[in-house]
Amino acid sequence: MGIDLRQVVAGILTLTMFVMLGQMIKRDHFDSLQDKLPGEAQDVQVGNANVIEKDGLVKLSKGSKGPWMKDSQELKPLPLQMADAVIVARYLAAALVLPDIRGSRPGDERNFKDIYDVEKFMKSLDGVVKVVKQLPNEISIRDLAAVKVPNRVTEDHIVENVQPIFKSKGNIRLATYFPTVNMRKTTQKSSVDSVSCLGMFGTLELQPEVSEVVDSMIERLRTLSRKSDGLFIAVDLRVDVLENKNCHGSGTNVAKSCYNAQEIALFLRKVGFNTDTTIYLTQSKWDNSLSVLKDIFPKTYTKENIMPEEKKGKFLEFEGSELEKVIDFYICSKSDVFVPALSGLFYANVAGKRIALGKPQILVPADIPGTSATVTNYLSPYVAKKNHLAYSCFC
């Protein structure tokens, strides 16, 4: 069956369903870590660090050095769930065109199939919305009406701001913008949350070559972590963001939005990780400013240290590219502990993926005075309070 040219929604980068591609750092602060997990909890001593055990949320990793925690049970997805562009296309009864993956730098552009499994994506949306691999030749991208929709778009917004343009133009080009980094679940169930779920957790799967590179890097990190039973930490820390003058808060009432290498090193030591701990940084290539972290934790690595040599030319072609960010996303999602040194969307999305995988070990740095603060003081509120959107998607 042919495609009605007046019933096409063309997707471009920064749709919510591809939200994990973008390391969009905003000046939103980390959630407050002062709010305690409600109810009684049991503190358990492990070496010099306490970790929490409550309702099976966080378990202890016995026999390993440092405040490591075991994975919890992987969550099971609830029935029908989708993302912003999908709900727009479904509401308008339109076909959705696969997007190109475009980075912020000139020349950083890839086809969707270069990173993700196209057939898996299309199959996952079968019966939900029609997906086509490319625009028909009769349609030029330049002729498409550009329409921006906010993250977690509502049906009211579609009716008021999207549908009239679609009816007038026939074919539109969607882009999602992020008024705020808000991945917390709402108190009421809505179609928006359901639509976001499938896009974030049920549609995207890496194509084989990219998946093999990620797996080989994770295996390399585990090999380097023999003294900690193969366990490693992933830290989202990038020098270019740290150099942003708006990165750090100032004043007594302004929360910090990011932490530098020295602060991360001191934080990890404070919560009990020893100097043999292996650390993966999302920084693409080594920067001298990271030496203070490596002085304390010698097993600190960037992508160029652990990526297979024969893959570096292709995967590290553009520093900070969207492909690198995808690699970072999956490594941070599968690490044994994740530490977001930077607030923002990447942290929120990794948290969601980790919750889905049963990996709630997310430690957020904070300026808690004194030396008595335990690892539980730094557990991400997304996990401690179970307020992440992912908890609406899984059971």
- What is the rounded distance in angstroms from the CA atom of residue 156 to the CA atom of residue 191? 12
Whether 249 and 167 map to the same domain: the answer is: no
Residue with tokens 């080989």: 216
Buried b (16+ CB within 10 A) or exposed e, 189-222: eeebbbbbbbbbbbbbebbeebeebbeebbebbb
Residues 233 and 138 occupy one common structural domain: no
Question: 216 and 95, same structural domain?
Answer: no
Q: Which of 151, 176, 202 is the last residue of a domain?
A: 202
Do 287 and 153 fall within a single domain? no
Do 354 and 382 belong together in one domain? yes
Global pTM reads: 0.76
Domain identity same for 264 and 235: yes
Taking only the tens of pLDDT, the chain with its 395 residues reads 456 656 677 654 333 333 333 323 333 446 544 443 333 333 333 333 334 434 333 443 444 456 887 777 565 543 353 467 888 888 888 888 887 776 666 666 777 888 888 888 888 888 888 888 888 888 888 888 888 888 778 888 999 999 999 998 888 888 877 766 667 776 665 555 565 666 667 677 888 899 999 999 999 999 999 988 999 999 999 988 887 756 655 545 556 778 999 999 999 998 889 999 999 999 988 899 999 999 999 999 999 999 999 998 888 877 667 788 889 999 999 999 999 998 888 898 899 889 888 899 999 997 666 655 677 788 999 999 988 888 877 66
Two structure tokens written together for 69: 């925690």
Q: Is residue 345 part of a domain?
A: yes
* Of the residues 158, 186, 202, the one at which a domain ends: 202
Range of the domain at 182: 73-202
Choosing from 202, 218, 243, the residue where a domain stops is 202
Residue 382 lies in a domain: yes
CATH value at residue 285: 3.40.50
Q: With beta carbons less than 8 A apart as the criterion, state whether 178 and 345 touch.
A: yes
- Listing DSSP states for 10-45 in one string gives EE-SS-GGGGGG-----SPPPPPS-SPPSS--EEEE
Give me the pLDDT at residue 111, please. 79
**Domain identity same for 148 and 113:** yes
The pLDDT value recorded for residue 60 is 39
Tell me, what's the pLDDT at 224? Answer: 95
Counted domains in the chain: 2
Q: Is residue 20 part of a domain?
A: no
